[in-house]
């Protein structure tokens, strides 16, 4: 019999380090009550007979079950039985005490075991003595869940492969993905589930398989993207999914509500971020924070794995105007790449190489661009420039690692750090030499003019690099596929630095981290639009972008940048919108 990985995933009171490993997060009462209320409002129990079966697959302290039972008690007169799983014995004991004290008439069946093991047993041979006392497990009417969120690199490759094999998963495996598959197997077709997840899967490339799983295995009714509401102590941006079993009554399209912090003036007030979801527009809560709340539908016009974005009449019209004025996208200029990744930065990257005696300084040092010198249009100059020891070259069009015998100082330096470098087991296991960079990218491309931009930033920061630097992994970069197409880089740097692109990002992706920060990664930036470079306004933008580059750090730059910003809005057929910076 197959068994799932033995992860202790539900102890909501673990240390921060343990939380990272197990994916544990304590569900706040405010959010638990919200999810419970949505489930109770969605389920149709008027004609229900028999016992209502309720499940929480990762019970923790029992907060979710307490909230759901309270809602059911207020709304319905039904016999209810509660089932749940929890691997932490102390949390399990606390949950049982809470439930039995609060709901003495409700039979409580909580078991100290892994929910994923249970799911696998349900569809194999269920052991005698299992709490369900049956080889054929009856599905559940209601499920309320906050599955653990543990990414592949934390689970470990072996565990991830086992989960993938046992639950039919493909791509990068997160633990909560296996939970979603498991929940879909045991929810009645007429049942309802409220599931708390990280919102990350909605828009990332790696989340495509999760999006497909949800759309294919459930009837999705409603999505709430709770953004940067800070409902959790952990750095998690949560979302809530309200789903039914697959029953032929799909909601098409599902509803979608999003809430993100903003600097705009509030039009209404709410008691808390959850209460703010009932409003639309900019809402202020008592601590002074303001949120932009949007109500719409989930975009379901493309494939099941397509990025999830909110669709409103206004946003559709806005994007249609942009599309009508779009000549191409950033991906049409060339391939967007992440910077180099050494996986041993303290060895390869330093700002004090000059402090080493000249007779021992490595020969293969290159200037390095990092987010520390990021600035719009032109990188900042730094007194202590970071440089990277870059042991790669191109020979006859092929990238290769250098022969250290040709560079004695480099060899001597790297040999000093050989134990550290050989500790990168994945490099060795991939058949690479012990002193290679993990992701070296293209050595021949560094000397070519390139567009560089920060990965994580509250506003876009794009600049042109003429210095031939190596780009670090905290930034992305782009060169033109055609050598004589440099004007496209200037067009891109103008669009990339504009307030227009912030608005485009929020309309198309609306994926932010805490404090309003956005992620500028390949899958987003490659979709950024470009106006026609041969149009009159395209020529003006290119010329003004070059002028802005030359004016960086000088009087008049801000005025020039503002004029260029307005020109970009005009190029896409839109009036300038005020974007807080």
All domains of the chain in start order, with CATH: 16-252 (3.40.50.150), 323-334+481-581 (no CATH), 335-479 (no CATH)
Give the residue from 279, 452, 479 showing the smallest Cα distance to 376.
452
- In whole angstroms, what is the distance from residue 155 CA to residue 20 CA? 10
pLDDT in the model for residue 98: 95
DSSP labels for 522-572?
HHHHTT-EE--TTSHHHHHHHHHHHHHHHHTTSTTHHHHHHHHHHHHHHHT
Q: Can you give the length of the chain in residues?
A: 581
- In whole angstroms, what is the distance from residue 488 CA to residue 490 CA? 5
Q: Residue 489: CB partners within 8 Å, gap ≥ 6?
A: 333, 449, 450, 451, 464, 478, 480
Q: Are 175 and 167 in contact (CB under 8 A)?
A: no
Q: What is the model's pTM?
A: 0.76
Q: How many CB atoms lie within 10 A of CB 56?
A: 26
349: part of which helix (H) or strand (E)?
strand 349-350
pLDDT in the model for residue 567: 98
311: part of which helix (H) or strand (E)?
strand 310-311
Q: Which residues of the chain have pLDDT under 50?
A: 1-24, 124-135, 152-155
pLDDT in the model for residue 128: 38
Q: How many CB atoms lie within 10 A of CB 537?
A: 16
pLDDT in the model for residue 307: 84
Per-residue pLDDT tens for 409-434? 999 999 999 999 999 988 888 899 99
- Which residues sit opposite 224 in a β-bridge? 240, 257
pLDDT in the model for residue 4: 34
Give the residue from 285, 411, 361, 332 showing the smallest Cα distance to 30.
285
- Please give the C-alpha separations between residue 519 and each of 230, 443, 457, 474, in angstroms, as whole numbers: 18, 26, 7, 11
- Which residues sit opposite 392 in a β-bridge? 401
pLDDT in the model for residue 2: 31
Token pair listed for 367? 């200037």
**Cα 477 versus chain centre, distance:** 20
pLDDT in the model for residue 166: 66
pLDDT in the model for residue 159: 59
Backbone angles phi, psi at 85, to 5 degrees: -130, 145
pLDDT in the model for residue 509: 83
**Cα 383 versus chain centre, distance:** 35
Token pair listed for 258? 């999003």
Give the residue from 249, 354, 225 showing the smallest Cα distance to 297.
225
pLDDT in the model for residue 185: 87
Q: Are 362 and 348 in contact (CB under 8 A)?
A: no
H helices of 145-174, in order, are: 152-155, 157-167
pLDDT in the model for residue 7: 34
């Amino acid at each position: 019999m197959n068994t799932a990985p033995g992860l202790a995933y539900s102890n909501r009171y673990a240390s921060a380090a343990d939380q990272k490993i197990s994916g544990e997060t304590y569900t706040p009462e405010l959010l638990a009550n919200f999810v419970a209320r949505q489930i109770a409002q969605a389920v149709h129990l008027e004609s229900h007979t028999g016992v209502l079966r309720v499940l929480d697959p990762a019970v923790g302290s029992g907060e979710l079950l307490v909230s759901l039972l309270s809602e059911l008690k207020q709304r319905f007169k039904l016999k209810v039985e509660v089932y749940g799983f929890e691997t932490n014995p102390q949390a399990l004991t606390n949950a049982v005490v809470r439930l039995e004290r609060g709901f003495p008439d409700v039979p409580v069946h909580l078991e100290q075991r892994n929910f994923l093991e249970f799911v696998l047993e349900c569809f194999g041979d269920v052991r005698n003595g299992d709490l369900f006392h049956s080889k054929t497990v009856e599905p559940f009417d209601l499920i309320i869940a906050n599955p653990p969120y543990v990414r592949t690199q934390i689970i470990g490759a072996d565990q991830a492969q086992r989960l993938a094999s046992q639950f039919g998963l493909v791509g990068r495996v997160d633990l909560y993905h296996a939970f979603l598959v498991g929940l879909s197997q045991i929810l009645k077709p007429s049942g309802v589930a409220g599931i708390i997840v990280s919102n990350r899967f909605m828009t990332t490339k790696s989340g495509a398989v999760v999006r497909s799983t949800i759309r294919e295995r459930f009837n999705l009714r409603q999505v709430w993207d709770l953004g940067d509401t800070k409902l959790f102590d952990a750095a998690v941006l949560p979302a809530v999914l309200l789903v039914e079993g697959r029953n032929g009554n799909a909601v098409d399209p599902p509803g979608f509500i999003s809430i993100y912090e903003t600097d705009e003036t509030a039009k209404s007030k709410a008691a808390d971020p959850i209460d703010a979801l009932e409003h639309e527009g900019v809402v202020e809560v008592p601590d002074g924070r303001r949120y932009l709340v949007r109500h719409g539908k989930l975009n379901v016009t493309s494939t099941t794995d397509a990025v999830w974005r909110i669709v409103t009449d206004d946003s559709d019209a806005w994007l249609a105007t942009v599309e009508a004025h779009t000549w191409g996208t950033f991906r049409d200029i060339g391939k967007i790449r992440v910077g180099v990744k050494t996986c041993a930065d303290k060895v390869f990257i330093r700002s004090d190489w000059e402090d080493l005696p000249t007779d021992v300084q490595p020969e293969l040092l290159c200037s390095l661009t990092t987010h520390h010198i990021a600035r719009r249009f032109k990188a900042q100059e730094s007194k202590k420039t970071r440089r990277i020891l870059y042991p790669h070259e191109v020979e006859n069009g092929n990238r290769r690692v250098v022969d250290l015998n040709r560079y004695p100082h480099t060899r001597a330096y790297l040999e000093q750090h050989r134990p550290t470098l050989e500790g990168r087991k994945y490099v060795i296991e991939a058949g690479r030499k012990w002193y290679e960079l993990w992701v070296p990218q293209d050595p021949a491309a560094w000397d070519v003019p390139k567009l560089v931009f920060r990965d994580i930033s509250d506003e876009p920061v794009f600049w042109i690099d003429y210095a031939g630097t190596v780009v670090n992994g905290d930034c992305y970069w782009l060169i033109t596929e055609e050598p004589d197409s440099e004007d496209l880089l200037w067009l891109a740097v103008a669009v990339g630095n504009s307030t227009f692109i912030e608005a485009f990002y929020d309309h198309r992706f609306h994926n932010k981290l805490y404090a309003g920060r956005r992620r500028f990664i390949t899958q987003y930036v490659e979709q950024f639009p470009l106006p026609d470079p041969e149009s009159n306004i395209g020529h003006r933008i290119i010329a003004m972008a070059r002028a802005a580059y030359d004016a960086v750090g000088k009087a008049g730059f801000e005025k020039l940048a503002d004029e260029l910003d307005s020109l970009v809005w005009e190029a896409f057929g839109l009036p300038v919108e005020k974007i807080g910076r």
